[in-house]
A and B are shown apart, each in its own frame.
Chain A
Amino acid sequence: MAVAAVLKAVLDADAALMLRVRDGDSSSFNLLLERHRTPVIHFLFRMVQNQAIAEELAQEAFLRVYRSRASYEPSAKFTTWLFRIATNLAFNWIRDQRSRKSQESLQDLSASGDTHHLCDGQPSVESVLVHEVKLNEVREAISRLPDKQRAAVLMHKYEEMEYSHIARVLGCSESAVKSLLFRAYESLRARLAQYA
């Protein structure tokens, strides 16, 4: 077991960097930040559908990583740990939003920070509108998924994670992840097939 853990740590360059951070090397933290900042922000943006909140949660995720540096042990892949922190932060935020019942739909919230998606060339007004309608439908369909299904789909589709990796992030079995994805994609097929 111990040998396996050591091998994993050797293979996981991120874990090696994190071990250096633990030993006081702040430049290694900068490397980790450069490597994972964008995927984490994008994942959180798709989870909470608000750019400012996503950045805030990503800040908190990296801050927690930094705070935990002294006690870090490479028992799992670094990205598993990082995405677990990020996912839990997103779940908590979504839960808090629900409990507040502020009536702000996720679609309304998204209006503040996603105009940057259409940046390729000069598309016609019609194609922009079609794209926007399609995008809204995708966002809406994703936001309607239960939290765990949503996280599983986002990690599977956009982060291209393996089932086992998603399972470790979500703290469930691999078969549970397959079940989550099956049901999530079933819902998405029902909602999105016509817009593709």
Chain B
Amino acid sequence: MTEQRFRCPLQSEENAQLLLDYCARRLDPSRRAALEAHIGLCPSCREFSQAQRLVWEALDAWDSSGGAADFDRRLYQRISEERKPPWADRLTAWTAEISWKPALPAAAALALWVTFFPVRPTEEAEGFERVAAEQVEGALEDLDMLQQLKLNLQ
């Protein structure tokens, strides 16, 4: 009973570093030897160090061996995105801010127009040819008129 109640001053908050370092195997040989001599005589410190060793071993079980396969690629991608010129960001932000909703009825109307009144390139081409022929005929007629004028003058 008295052994359980007794708490060695080495286990106080101020001094426990020594015992914690001992259990973490971070003490230099001379200090380790001195502490081991004390632990041999002090049941309270022996109990403390045994419990701390068990904690240390339990924490050892938590091995974190995972690593991100594409960590670097993703990081460099983010870095390159940050390197974009400011105007690109502004353009992206501007296009994101534009509301396309008002343009939707106009686009729908245009789609309907194209559906029901399709452009007919053949008719247009025929019309163009007709106009061209009329222009040629007109020019020939003009030439004829000029010739007739010449003849009349002679």
Contacts and interface: CB of A to CB of B under 8 A. Distances in A.
Interface in A59-112: 59, 62-63, 66-67
A134 B46 CA distance: 24
Contacts of B59: 138, 157-158, 188, 192
Contacts of A179: 13
A41 B58 contact: no
A29 B20 CA distance: 36
Contacts, number: 101
A37 B20 contact: no
Interface in B50-105: 51-59, 61-68, 71-72, 74-75, 78-79, 82
B143 to A, nearest CB: 78
Contact of B20 (A113, A175, A182): A182
Contacts of B68: 37, 41, 55, 58
A157 B64 CA distance: 13
A38 B67 contact: yes
A35 interface: no
Contacts of A149: none
Contacts of A196: 53-55, 57-58
A193 B55 contact: yes
B17 interface: yes
Given A38-B67, A51-B66, A119-B65, A185 B75 contact: no
B20 A185 contact: yes
Contacts of B75: 33, 59, 62-63
A195 B58 contact: yes
Nearest to B16: A182
A83 to B, nearest CB: 15
B34 to A, nearest CB: 20
Nearest to A177: B17
A178 B71 contact: no
A175 to B, nearest CB: 8
A192 B72 contact: no
A149 B68 CA distance: 27
A182 B78 CA distance: 40
Contacts of A192: 54-55, 58-59
Interface of A: 30, 33, 37-38, 41-42, 45-46, 51, 55, 58-59, 62-63, 66-67, 113-114, 116-117, 119, 131, 134-135, 137-139, 142, 156-158, 163, 175, 178-179, 181-183, 185, 188-189, 192-193, 195-196
Interface of B: 13-14, 16-17, 20, 24, 51-59, 61-68, 71-72, 74-75, 78-79, 82
8 contacts: A37-B71, A41-B66, A41-B67, A51-B66, A63-B79, A114-B64, A117-B63, A117-B64
